[in-house]
Amino acid sequence: MERSEARERIVRKAMEEILVKGYTKVTMDQISSALGMSKKTIYQLFPGKRELLRTMLNKLQKEIEEGVAARVDDKQMEFRERWRTVLEYIGMQYSRFGPGFVEDLHTAEPEIYESLNAFRMGIVKNHFARLAQEGTQLGVFRKDLDPRLLATVYMASVQVILNPASIQDLGMAPAQAYHEMVRLLFEGVMEATKPA
């Protein structure tokens, strides 16, 4: 097996294990066993678990960045459908995180957690804000709302709701918290009035 192919297999398996179970709960022994690969081989390709985590998150972030950009830029799709698709895609990405992953990362590797958080905010600034602007120009969103404010409220909501302490207090998985936040933000809190 080529070096690059072996690295790819290791990163994929680490992603499957660590995102679901948590960074501190998965050992290099477990990853090597799941791969049927010696731990020595893994350490030849990754000096330590922290480097494997960084590589794994870099790959994940690249996938998410490309996925969001492709959906935002897909002009063959009607705007409302694109909007829904972007929000669903982001929600799907959060569903890859097990309930303890974010808190575990925040506690065990705060610097890497902050980097992941900065990436998350960058997605909002680079793509969501542009989409909000387009929605306002098309008249899908209220003209009296500044799209920058919409993007800022969304970003602040993501920041607060997907904070490890909030996730723990709410007792929700990140994906569930994200979906509830989006529903509240874009559908409101009022029950639809029934016709008389």
Name the residue ranges covered by the structural domains of the chain. 57-187
Q: What is the pLDDT of residue 196?
A: 54
pTM greater than 0.85:
no
Task: Quickly state the pLDDT bin for 73 (edges 50, 70, 90).
Answer: very high
* Eight-class DSSP state of 192: P
Residue 77: enclosing H or E segment and its boundaries?
Answer: none
CATH number attached to the domain at 57-187: 1.10.357
Sign of the Cα pseudo-torsion (112, 180, 65, 34, in order): positive
162 in Cβ contact with 177 (< 8 Å): yes
42 or 175, greater pLDDT: 42
